[in-house]
């Protein structure tokens, strides 16, 4: 496998935790258009640790006439602004026989959030705002399996487990944690076309949420599809585009969800991506910057995402 492909893959493997918002809050763990990164279908056959720093800024709004279930209450006109900083560590295990190889990963996320909304209290609505910052739910990837069809065609299979490790309080708009386990099986595919200096990557996954024991709210299953195309410009840079589609395929359940007819959500998003390969001392450094604009949303915020990832090989 070419070295440039290995570097792209290492950046992509740390994208497993790029998504981080709650379905019960109207957002969903996935952020539209951030699920695919360059080389995501490749698990590189280079054993050892890889460390990444990711920063995501998201701001959006749900229309004022839309009711949103948040932490056991109904809010109107929700406007979230969220910053997420995440240190991610991945370990690629030793070479395996045949065309398979394996890795595991964990991340430590920290979140700053501000939520503006109007709460429905009896026959009145009361404007309110809430903010908080703390550790977010910790995600684990116990197994990531990669299969190499050829030097230019690869696939990866992954299971991500989000733990309910962040703080959660009923009645609070801005909660650093979601108070639920989330299980996310996913598959990614990457195709390199060297003669055109082009890469095509796609990833699809399902998100299964447990019931929130403090609110008795059970979020429905989410399907996420993310596509990416990047063309190399010179030796170090790349330019491309990303597309994301989030589709809830089963209703939310619980008293609040029943009042909102199951509260199924949907969102689309698209935007540009820029990549750059450089050095940090003697270490290889990969940079990935994207902007995504959401559109045609239902029961989710309509907003904008700015995502920056820096990955170094140790």
CA–CA distance, 273 with 38 (Å, rounded to integer): 10
Q: Which of 31, 108, 116, 30 is nearest to 304 (CA)?
A: 31
| End-to-end CA, the chain | 19
CA–CA distance, 87 with 91 (Å, rounded to integer): 14
CA–CA distance, 151 with 5 (Å, rounded to integer): 9
Asked if 134 and 109 count as a contact pair (C-beta separation under 8 A), the reply is no
CA–CA distance, 308 with 285 (Å, rounded to integer): 13
Determine the pLDDT at residue 183.
95
Degrees, nearest 5: CA angle 159-288-284: 90
Domains annotated on the chain, with CATH? 3-313 (2.40.128.130)
Q: Which of 230, 271, 282 is nearest to 11 (CA)?
A: 230
Determine the pLDDT at residue 10.
44
- Please write the tens of the pLDDT for every residue from 90-146: 898 976 667 899 999 999 999 999 989 887 666 777 888 899 999 999 999 999 999
- Please write the tens of the pLDDT for every residue from 203-226: 999 999 999 999 999 999 999 999
Asked if 275 and 309 count as a contact pair (C-beta separation under 8 A), the reply is no
Q: Which residues in the chain land under pLDDT 70?
A: 1-28, 64-65, 95-97, 120-122, 313-314
Tokens of 66: 């839309």
CA–CA distance, 182 with 141 (Å, rounded to integer): 12
What pTM value is reported for the model? 0.89
């Amino acid at each position: 496998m070419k070295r440039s492909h290995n570097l792209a893959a290492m950046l992509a493997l740390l994208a497993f935790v790029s998504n981080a918002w709650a379905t019960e809050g109207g957002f969903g763990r996935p952020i539209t258009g951030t699920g695919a990164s360059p080389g995501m279908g490749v698990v590189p056959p280079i054993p050892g640790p890889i460390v990444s720093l990711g920063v995501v800024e998201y701001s959006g709004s749900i229309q004022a006439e839309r009711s949103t279930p948040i932490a056991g209450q109904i809010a109107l006109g929700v406007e979230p602004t969220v910053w997420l900083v995440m240190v991610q560590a991945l370990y690629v295990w030793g070479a395996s026989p045949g065309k398979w190889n394996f890795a595991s990963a964990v991340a430590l996320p920290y979140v700053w959030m501000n939520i503006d909304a109007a709460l429905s209290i009896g026959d009145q609505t009361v404007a309110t705002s809430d903010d908080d910052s703390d550790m977010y739910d910790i995600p684990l990837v116990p197994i990531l399996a990669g299969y190499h069809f050829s030097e230019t065609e690869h696939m990866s299979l992954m299971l991500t487990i989000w733990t309910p490790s962040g703080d959660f309080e009923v009645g609070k708009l801005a909660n650093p944690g979601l108070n639920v386990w989330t299980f996310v099986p996913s598959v990614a595919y990457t195709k390199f076309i060297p003669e055109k200096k082009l890469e095509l990557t796609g990833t699809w996954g399902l998100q299964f949420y447990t019931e929130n024991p403090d609110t008795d709210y059970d979020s429905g299953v989410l399907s996420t599809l993310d596509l990416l195309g990047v063309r190399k410009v010179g030796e170090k840079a790349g330019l491309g585009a990303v597309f994301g589609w989030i589709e809830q395929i089963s209703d939310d359940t619980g008293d609040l969800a029943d009042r909102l007819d199951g509260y199924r959500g949907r969102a689309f998003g698209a935007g540009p991506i820029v990549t750059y390969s450089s050095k940090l001392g003697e270490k290889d450094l990969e940079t990935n910057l994207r902007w995504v604009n959401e559109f045609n949303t239902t029961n989710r915020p309509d907003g904008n995402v700015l995502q920056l990832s820096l990955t170094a090989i140790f």
